[in-house]
Structure 1
Amino acid sequence: MSNDCSAFDIDLSPSYWSKRFPRERICLEHVNFITKCSEEVKNSVPNQLNIPYGQGEREVIDIYGTDLPQDAPVFIHFHGGFWQEKLIRHNLNSFIAKVLRENQIKSIFVGYELCPNVTLDDLSRNIEKALKKCLEYVKQTRGIHLSGHSAGAQIVANLFKEFIPNLPEEERKLFKTAYLLAGIYDLMPLLKTSYNVPLKLDEQSAKRASPLWQKLIAEGTDFYVVVAEHDSPQFVEQGNKMNEYLLSLNLKSHLVTIKDVDHFDLLEKLFDSDYELTKLIVKSCSE
């Protein structure tokens, strides 16, 4: 989320394409909004916070809606930040829990260590530990719904490479939907950008971390690939390609383009019960 973008970075930098604020302000406005709303939710929705799943300070999960029945549907969310932005933490996405709790849906927000403290290969393995921890808490749920924003969408998609397909059948069947929100799915374009300085990717590791370069397996999961109209051209193009790729694998996928939003308020508006994406998520989680 750096504002010091080179010519190579601009096509991949969502802050350049927002219609709401200048690029120098958009990230700070976003962080201020999600911080304020998440603090409100933390104080109003029953929760259990900072449950560790690993050794890292960020390797924790927060559960919201802890007062709901054990069989309530569960929404598990992974935050964005290009795997490196320190300002974005899992607890700043917990504002999403407000509307979900109102509709009898539990939610879990997953933190993770950032690059360069870990590699993307390390991060992927750590995320698998996080999901195992989540499964311990939601064994009696009637359905799990995964969600990831930006880099979090890459994290969610890659769970269908090996981890979820190799789970016991009774656990595999719990994964009903996956919401890929304004995601990046091919990391090869990052190699020539400043974003790669902490990532330290080469061609081989970039392909290994890219859902668009992997065989994904999902027996009963519906994918929703969500694109923001005013996102960067690269993010929009990758969203379209990801939907096409999932369909080519004979998986269930739906491309959803949200008009008049950018990379950031695509997510922020999930605080609003009347937002079309909020309604879609509530409806599919409740079915």
Structure 2
Amino acid sequence: MSLSGFDTALDVQLDQATVDRDYFARGSVSDDAFASATARYATGTAAAQVFATALDQPYDLGSGERIDIYGTVPGQLRPVILFIHGGYWRALGRKDSGFMAPALAEAGIATAVPDYTLAPAVNLTEIVRQMRAALAWLWTNAARQGIDRNRIIVSGSSAGGHLAGTLLSGGWQAAMGLPETPVAAALPISGLFDLAPIARTYPDAWMQFTEDEIALLSPLRQLPARGCPICLALGANEAAGFARQSAAYDTAWRAAGFSSEVFAVPGRHHFDVVLDLADPSTALFGKLVALVESTADQPGRITS
């Protein structure tokens, strides 16, 4: 269900100063808040290593990129969260992104965290290809990794939310040996779903988006024929552009007849909202668990 030709591109009416401000996530928080949140990514992931069950697994021969898996148990096939890191496609990695694994493992849920080659070493087309390869590897090797391939839930923060969205887009799965709907549910966090406004502002300095990438790699413009349940989460204190992105994708997902909700987490900003996934007492953790539970029985899903 391609919307690549639609004439209502997100934020097209906004002046340059507004677009620059509304997508400047770093400018929406203090230096201390940014440093505190991002430090917890790495320290939480380091602490999670005791839950690791398969580290440094190559998932893509072309790039050599790898994936870490946490929280599997011998003799079980567990649902899994495939979590994709953010950083505007040019920062962070899997060693910053496994902090939610202990809490999820205690809830009976595995976690898979892939790396991707960072921009500007590669373009967005290659980054998306790598993430689709990671999903294909996980789906194909699920049983030997202790994962139920019919219960793969994708998530990610910021640019990772965008990449999660590209795994929901239609039309690419067969070429990678996947069924039409390999993803059972999704929780993009602070995601980006239309690249057009991003191409107008500072990330384009290292991304150099092409017109084809904007059309083909914007999840808002490439909806699938069949969509899974999604929850679009974000911090209530996000920069405004990220809130508009989630609202637009929710509207499109619902208009296509799929299940969607937007969940703004009170008191959270762009960088700390994702940390709630490591805390079972939070509402965001509860949303994720509810999505996982919803995948236990989805009549009509094509899974092989």
TM-score range with shorter-chain normalisation? 0.7 to 0.9
Whether 1:15 aligns to 2:22 is no
Q: Distance in 1 between matches of 2:232 and 2:213?
A: 24
Equivalent residue, structure 2, for 1:225: 232
How big is the shift at 1:80?
Answer: 0.8
| Contact 2:196/2:214, CA 8 A, preserved across alignment | yes
| Contact 2:104/2:278, CA 8 A, preserved across alignment | no
Whether 1:162 aligns to 2:171 is yes
Q: Which runs of 4+ in 1 moved over 6 A?
A: 165-169
Q: Kindly tell me: are residues 237 and 173 of structure 1, through their superposed partners in 2, closer, same or farther at Cα, counting changes over 3 Å?
A: closer
| Contact 1:56/1:113, CA 8 A, preserved across alignment | no
| Contact 1:15/1:26, CA 8 A, preserved across alignment | no
Q: Distance in 1 between matches of 2:114 and 2:208?
A: 23
| Contact 1:58/1:111, CA 8 A, preserved across alignment | no
Q: Kindly tell me: are residues 131 and 145 of structure 1, through their superposed partners in 2, closer, same or farther at Cα, counting changes over 3 Å?
A: same
| Contact 1:226/1:258, CA 8 A, preserved across alignment | yes
| Contact 1:74/1:107, CA 8 A, preserved across alignment | yes
How big is the shift at 1:231?
Answer: 0.5
| Contact 1:68/1:104, CA 8 A, preserved across alignment | no
| Contact 1:66/1:106, CA 8 A, preserved across alignment | yes
How big is the shift at 1:255?
Answer: 1.5
Amino acid paired to 2:104:
L
Q: Which of 279, 288, 295 is the aligned partner of 1:272?
A: 279
Whether 1:128 aligns to 2:135 is no
How big is the shift at 1:92?
Answer: 1.2
Q: Distance in 2 between matches of 1:164 and 1:179?
A: 20
Secondary structure at the aligned position of 2:214 is classed as helix
Secondary structure at the aligned position of 1:231 is classed as coil
Equivalent residue, structure 2, for 1:33: 40
Secondary structure at the aligned position of 1:95 is classed as coil
Q: Distance in 2 between matches of 1:120 and 1:58?
A: 17
Q: Kindly tell me: are residues 246 and 136 of structure 1, through their superposed partners in 2, closer, same or farther at Cα, counting changes over 3 Å?
A: same
Equivalent residue, structure 2, for 1:236: 243
Equivalent residue, structure 2, for 1:3: none
Aligned residues, how many? 273
| Contact 1:183/1:235, CA 8 A, preserved across alignment | yes
Equivalent residue, structure 1, for 2:185: 177
Secondary structure at the aligned position of 2:230 is classed as strand
Deviations 1:52-82 (A, max 9, x none): 1235777111000132543211111111111
How big is the shift at 1:213?
Answer: 1.8
Equivalent residue, structure 2, for 1:99: 103
Unmatched segments (≥5 aa) in structure 2: 1-15, 295-304
TM-score by length of 1: 0.87
Q: Distance in 2 between matches of 1:46 and 1:119?
A: 30
Q: Kindly tell me: are residues 285 and 69 of structure 1, through their superposed partners in 2, closer, same or farther at Cα, counting changes over 3 Å?
A: farther
Q: Distance in 1 between matches of 2:176 and 2:119?
A: 27
How big is the shift at 1:227?
Answer: 2.3
Identity %: 23
RMSD between superposed Cα atoms in Å: 2.3
Amino acid paired to 2:44:
C
